[in-house]
Homo-oligomer: A and B are copies of this chain.
Amino acid sequence: MSVFPFRFDVLRKDPASRARRGRLHTPHGCVETPAFIFCGTKASVKGLAPSQLKAARTQICLANTYHLLLQPGANLIAEAGGLHRFMGWEGPLLTDSGGFQVFSLGHGSVADEIKGKRCRDPSVQKISEEGVTFQSYRDGSLQVLTPERSIEAQCQMGADLIVAFDECTPYHSTRAYTEQALERSHRWEQRSVEALSAHNMGQQALYGVVQGGVYPDLRAESVCFVNKMPFFGHAIGGTLGSTREEMMAIVDQVTSSLDPGRPIHLLGIGGLHDILQGVALGVDTFDCVHPTRLARHGGALMPVTLCDPAERACIVLKRACYARDFGPLDPSCPCETCQNFSRAYLHHLIKAREILALTALTLHNVTFMNRFLQEIRTALEQDRFEEMRTHWHSSCVQ
């Protein structure tokens, strides 16, 4: 009889906060937590080969079920031998349920959605007890996503960590709608658990998602629900309000009552401040397109000491002030970009619209994030996390 190959060990707790240094065991290796999960939306972390992700000390990536269902399809990935083999990434992988994109692309961009900037558009055709019907952005065809279809697709693709199917409600949802959606999401999550036990070969671990929007009582109800379900881990989803304070209040409430034996993932959040605060509240893993998207827009993440206070932990290399800056991008960074290229060269590559600008900055930003999380882990191991956090916040202009 085989042993379930997943385990989450809390190695050390921070004396001054809920922060914890953990280790997440998966069939494709361990993830040292707190950790950052890089977005490989369409089965590729944009611009980097797996060897480059590895060189940047990346532990884990994710791919989006929604995008992969539309192209190339979960069947094809299964035929290819699964997502790991398909994309050539041997480490741990996570897939989401597809729900977030169905709803957020229905509402506008991912970032707009959680801040409620746009209203639901017609790409979400119908939400029923069964699931959601939406229009493909590729060919306009009607697609149905249900808990069973999402879990089946995630099992076919074979990521280590998978996520239960839920409805992601936007910021402007009324309490009544949020409550109704929450109850349905809980039934969908129940069906996700059942669907997984039908497919599961024990090689995948399921995360349940806490919804409830900005309403504390609904969040409490959702926490209560997921704690009772046989999930391996928990993810905090849905709208987290429109300000950092609102977000952290919700995260604080949720993490304070989630099962402390299970890993906690904060969906779609990846700013440096937010990571530090999230870790302090007990979050173990984060994901966000920010580091890789920023790179494609010419931005390089930087230690706060090397940034203009106005630039918020990054520098924008297309600015004319970097045209003759012949020093390395970040002298403290061991990545190939910082070891080989000057800011002036990166500025030139951006002006000349060279692909290397995108890939070199992505490599740096991924390296930066991995080093930042490593710094957090080391601080936790040495009971210096509070000190690190205080120092970091005090040296930043928010």
A3 within 8 A of B: no
Chain B residues lying within 8 Å of A348, measured Cβ to Cβ, are 42-43, 71-72, 76, 86
Q: CB within 8 Å of B: which of A337-364? A: 337, 340-342, 344-345, 347-349, 351-352, 354-356, 358-360
CB within 8 Å for A340 and B81 given contacts A42-B352, A42-B354, A352-B71: no
A124 CA to B67 CA, complexed, in Å:
48
Beta-carbon contact of A342 and B71 below 8 Å: no
**Given that A43-B348, A80-B342, A348-B71 are contacting pairs, would A355 and B356 also be in contact in the complex, using a CB cutoff of 8 Å?**
no
Q: Does B354 contact A76, Cβ atoms closer than 8 Å?
A: no
Output the least CB separation between A227 and chain B (Å): 38
CB-CB < 8 A to A359: which residues of B?
47, 49, 355, 359
Verify if A4 is at the interface (C-beta below 8 Å from B): no
Q: Report if A323-B46 is in contact (Cβ < 8 Å); known contacts: A80-B345, A86-B342, A355-B359.
A: no
Cβ of A88 under 8 Å from chain B: yes
A44 to chain B: which residues have CB within 8 Å? 349, 352, 354-356
**Which A residues lie at the B interface, using CB under 8 A?**
42-44, 46-51, 67, 71-72, 76, 79-81, 86-88, 323-324, 326, 336-337, 340-342, 344-345, 347-349, 351-352, 354-356, 358-360
Chain B residue numbers with a CB within 8 Å of A351 are 71-72
Q: Beyond A44-B356, A71-B348, A76-B344: 9 further Cβ-contacts under 8 Å?
A: A42-B349, A48-B356, A49-B360, A72-B323, A76-B324, A80-B342, A81-B326, A88-B340, A88-B341
